[in-house]
Amino acid sequence: QITLKESGPPLVKPTQTLTLTCTFSGFSLSTSGVAVGWIRQPPGKALEWLASIYWDDDTRYIPSLKSRLTITKDTSKNQVVLTITNMDPADTATYFCAHQRFSSGYYFDFWGQGTPVTVSS
């Protein structure tokens, strides 16, 4: 049974760095064809993919935020960490992590419950 859970601060100030942790169980990030991605959703808006880290340590980022994002994994702890620097009120959103499986392309088949983050002074 695959489960994921996001954790991080609910409130950050503008210009601060946000660190989000995704703790998962039921799979290994060293298994071929597996990845974990981060997706966010501002209040009332659509989903936006941010970054993914793959079983072979490859990382991919959304170009518009690439300079501010870092995604890492700790296979021994079953965790994936996303850091976002220089936070802005426009980054207020619910942040989800999700398991990605490859079958005719990667897709998100299991999601965490999401963690809301508000950026405000």
Partner 1 sequence: DIQMTQSPSSLSASVGDRVTITCRASRDINTFLIWYQQKPGRAPKLLIYAASSLHGGAPSRFSGSGSGTDFTLTISSLQPEDFATYYCQQSSSTPITFGQGTRLEIK
**C-alpha span between 3 and 50 (Å, rounded):** 20
Q: Dihedral of CA 105/106/110/115: which sign?
A: negative
For position 103 contacting partner 1 by CB under 8 A, the verdict is: yes
What 3-state DSSP class applies to 63? helix
Contacts for 67 with CB less than 8 Å, ≥ 6 apart: none
Q: Does 1 bind partner 1 (CB under 8 A)?
A: no
Of 107, 113, 110, which is closest to residue 27 (Cα–Cα)?
110
For partner 1, which is the closer residue by CB, 103 or 121? Answer: 103
Cβ distance to partner 1 smaller for residue 16 or 92: 92
**Binding flags for partner 1, 29-68, as an x/- string (CB under 8 A):** --------x--------xxxx--x-------xxxx-----
* Binding stretches for partner 1 (CB under 8 A): 37, 46-49, 52, 60-63, 96, 98, 103-109, 111-114
